[in-house]
Amino acid sequence: MNVLVVEDQKTIGMALTWTLAGLGHEARLVSGGDAAWEILSREDWRLIITDWMMPGGDGPELCRRIRGQRGGHYRYVIMLTGRTGRSDRLEGLEAGADDFLTKPVDEDELVVRLGIARRILDVQRQLEDSVRQLGAAARTDFLTRLSNRRGLDEALPAMMTAGRPCSAIAIDIDRFKAYNDSFGHAAGDDVLRTIGTLLRSGTGATGTAYRVGGEEFLVLLPGSAAEEASSLAEELRSAIAAHSWSLRPVTASLGVATADSALAFAGPRPILDAADRALYHSKRTGRDRTTHARSLDEPDVAAIPPRAAG
């Protein structure tokens, strides 16, 4: 394990770090609580052994700082002290210490205390992994494995305030209810899964695809201007139409909207509404086509129709 040793008496501190090294651990020595806190504020140390009485921030104060920190991983703190009274132990526990080592340090006791620390930190890592997995599952659509509406809601604010142009592509499968009615929901689910795969591969590193409703999808394109977003949308539309569907052809209608860096700060709702308006325009004008919201302000430009075969 990596151990941060906080001890102002250099001889004691060096002896402890050598002992830790001999036991197979990586140890770093700092001379006081303030110096330790500066390191902990920017580096990931899970195990800290700190002296109680030190200039420049004592052990209890360092514990209180660690426990007052929001977010991040759990840090296990062992207090090193010659104070063995009941009131002293209670004070240390109240400050946030997990365990104690008595000066002078007995190596056998150190081994046992480190074993306890390892077990607790291992359990904590497992809990953190479980929380991350649950969080990822809560943001993932179980059928398509794309991010879901919750994932979209979390991603939008950052994209809209990044100070760059950004675009959104709204996608709706054409006549999907009729497809379900004709072939059943299992066949419809196969279509949704395939659409998810096509969107994931089609966007690549450019953007992120989301399933936001039954047959509704959205692609976010941070940093993409109108022309680039329209081009990608048309590629996605073509990929869906050209896929070898087993039961009957499947197509999609798409709407694109773009916000420049100034408009982005108006929030996410306008760009989503604009993409939806463009999508419905594609549906009203024949389906299986792409419309950019900006074209709706130009009466002579309506939509990008599907490319002619060949």
Rounded to the nearest integer, the mean pLDDT of the chain is 88
All domains of the chain in start order, with CATH: 2-138 (3.40.50.2300), 149-297 (3.30.70.270)
Active site residues: 215
Among the listed ranges 158-172, 183-197, 287-301, which one has the minimum average pLDDT value?
287-301
| pLDDT above 70 for 132 | yes
In this prediction, residue 267 carries a pLDDT of 60
Tokens of residue 30, six digits: 């700092």
| pLDDT above 70 for 103 | yes
Question: Average of pLDDT values for 189-209?
Answer: 93
State what percent of residues in the chain have pLDDT above 90.
Answer: 60
| pLDDT above 90 for 204 | no
| pLDDT above 80 for 130 | yes
In this prediction, residue 306 carries a pLDDT of 56
> DSSP letters of the chain?
-EEEEE-SSHHHHHHHHHHHHHTT-EEEEESSHHHHHHHHTTS---EEEEESS-SSS-HHHHHHHHHH--SS---EEEEEES--SHHHHHHHHHHT--EEEESSPPHHHHHHHHHHHHHHHHHHHHHHHHHHHHHHHHTB-TTT-SB-HHHHHHHHHHHHTSSS-EEEEEEEETTHHHHHHHH-HHHHHHHHHHHHHHHHHHHTTT-EEEE-SSSEEEEEEET--HHHHHHHHHHHHHHHHHS--SSS---EEEEEEEE-TTGGGG-SHHHHHHHHHHHHHHHHTTSS-EEEGGGGG-TT---BPPPPP-
232 pLDDT band (50/70/90 cuts)? very high
Tokens of residue 295, six digits: 């074209």
Question: Average of pLDDT values for 37-41?
Answer: 92
In this prediction, residue 309 carries a pLDDT of 40
More reliable by pLDDT, 94 or 138: 94
